[in-house]
């Protein structure tokens, strides 16, 4: 499966559910006794679940380093081999996990084994991401980079709804809701915004995805041209920030799929 740094997870997940938690209503969090958050990473969803549920919420991840940032209880484990007895929790939930697994179905079947009631997956469709920016070159460049990245990723980065996979795993009463995670950058800029702009200007952000981009049909020469265009765009972002004029709005659609054991 794909691995991510703590900084990446915090940057992309912080702020989710801050505007609305309506899409989580089918999880019936207020009635849960024991919840397992699989692929918890640095615990952004774990914190939301603990706020919304009176029950125990256990964070689970294969990466001990990420889990070290999450207050207990935690358990280190692979999503397809959970150290939980059959029916040991009444809700298993994951966020942006299945999209990074080579076999999402194997994880879903394991979730169904350890849950006595519900299984829920909150997964993005990265092919539907929309972006607006005051730096006009940023929108087409982001689309170009995203398409090349998606073509090289071995997993299904546009997974979104997993209703079919839930039914194949034997889950019933499957329903899907959409939640749009909106990320905005506008004055006054915080340190995270400034760092993101610096990474654009240096090309560091794109460089982190080099292997995935080149795993697709992108040649090294095409990647280098993309990176140079990306750095030029980043310098324009920095200039607009210095003038207090930069604004950016990105919408990442997530699909909340819920099924009953």
Q: How many helices (H) and strands (E) does the chain have?
A: 10, 8
Q: CA-CA distance, 49 to 17, in Å (whole number)?
A: 10
Q: CA-CA distance, 13 to 44, in Å (whole number)?
A: 6
Q: CA-CA distance, 35 to 58, in Å (whole number)?
A: 6
Q: How confident is the model at residue 161 (pLDDT cuts 50, 70, 90)?
A: very high
Is residue 255 helix, strand or coil?
strand
Supply the pLDDT for residue 8. Answer: 58
Q: Is residue 130 over pLDDT 60?
A: yes
Is residue 49 helix, strand or coil?
helix
Q: Is residue 46 over pLDDT 60?
A: yes
Kind and range of the H or E element at 257?
strand 248-260
Is residue 260 helix, strand or coil?
strand
pLDDT in tens, 8-37: 555 666 778 988 999 999 999 999 999 999
The stretch 200-224 carries a mean pLDDT of: 92
The stretch 205-223 carries a mean pLDDT of: 91
Supply the pLDDT for residue 5. Answer: 57
Length of the chain (residues): 261
Angle between helices 138-152 and 220-243 (to 10 degrees): 140
The stretch 128-152 carries a mean pLDDT of: 94
Residue 89 in contact with residue 59, Cβ under 8 Å? no
Q: Strand pairing of 56-61 and 34-38?
A: parallel
Q: CA-CA distance, 117 to 187, in Å (whole number)?
A: 45
Q: CA-CA distance, 256 to 250, in Å (whole number)?
A: 19
Q: Which of 39-53, 105-119, 149-163, 217-231 has the lowest mean pLDDT?
A: 149-163
Sign of CA dihedral 230, 235, 237, 238: positive
Q: Is residue 1 over pLDDT 60?
A: no
Is 0.95 topped by the overall pTM? no
The stretch 146-152 carries a mean pLDDT of: 89
Q: CA-CA distance, 127 to 119, in Å (whole number)?
A: 25
Supply the pLDDT for residue 21. Answer: 95
φ/ψ of 27, rounded to 5, equals -75, -10
Q: CA-CA distance, 261 to 189, in Å (whole number)?
A: 45
Q: Strand pairing of 115-124 and 248-260?
A: antiparallel
What value does the CA radius of gyration of the chain take, rounded to a whole number of Å? 19
Is residue 3 helix, strand or coil?
coil
């Amino acid at each position: 499966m794909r691995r991510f740094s703590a900084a990446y997870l915090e940057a992309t997940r912080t702020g989710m559910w801050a505007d609305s938690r309506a899409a989580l209503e089918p999880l019936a969090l207020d009635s849960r006794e024991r919840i397992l958050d699989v692929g918890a990473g640095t615990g952004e969803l774990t914190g939301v679940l603990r706020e919304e549920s009176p029950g125990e919420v256990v964070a689970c991840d294969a990466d001990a380093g990420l889990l070290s940032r999450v207050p207990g209880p935690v358990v280190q484990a692979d999503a397809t081999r959970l150290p939980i007895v059959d029916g040991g929790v009444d809700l298993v939930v994951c966020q942006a996990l299945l999209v990074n697994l080579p076999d999402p179905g194997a994880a879903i079947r394991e979730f169904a084994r350890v849950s006595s009631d519900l299984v829920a997956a909150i997964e993005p469709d990265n092919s539907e991401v929309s972006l607006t920016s005051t730096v006009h070159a940023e929108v087409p460049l982001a689309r170009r980079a995203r398409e090349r990245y998606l073509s090289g990723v071995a997993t299904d980065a546009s997974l979104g709804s997993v209703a079919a996979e839930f039914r194949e795993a034997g889950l019933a009463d499957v329903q899907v809701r959409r939640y749009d995670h909106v990320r905005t950058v506008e004055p006054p800029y915080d340190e995270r915004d400034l760092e993101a702009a610096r990474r654009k200007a240096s090309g560091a952000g794109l460089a982190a995805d080099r292997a995935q981009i080149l795993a697709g049909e992108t040649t090294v020469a095409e990647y280098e041209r993309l990176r140079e265009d990306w750095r030029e765009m980043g310098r324009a972002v920095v200039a607009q920030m210095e003038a207090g004029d930069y604004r950016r709005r990105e919408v990442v659609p997530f699909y909340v799929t819920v099924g009953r054991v």
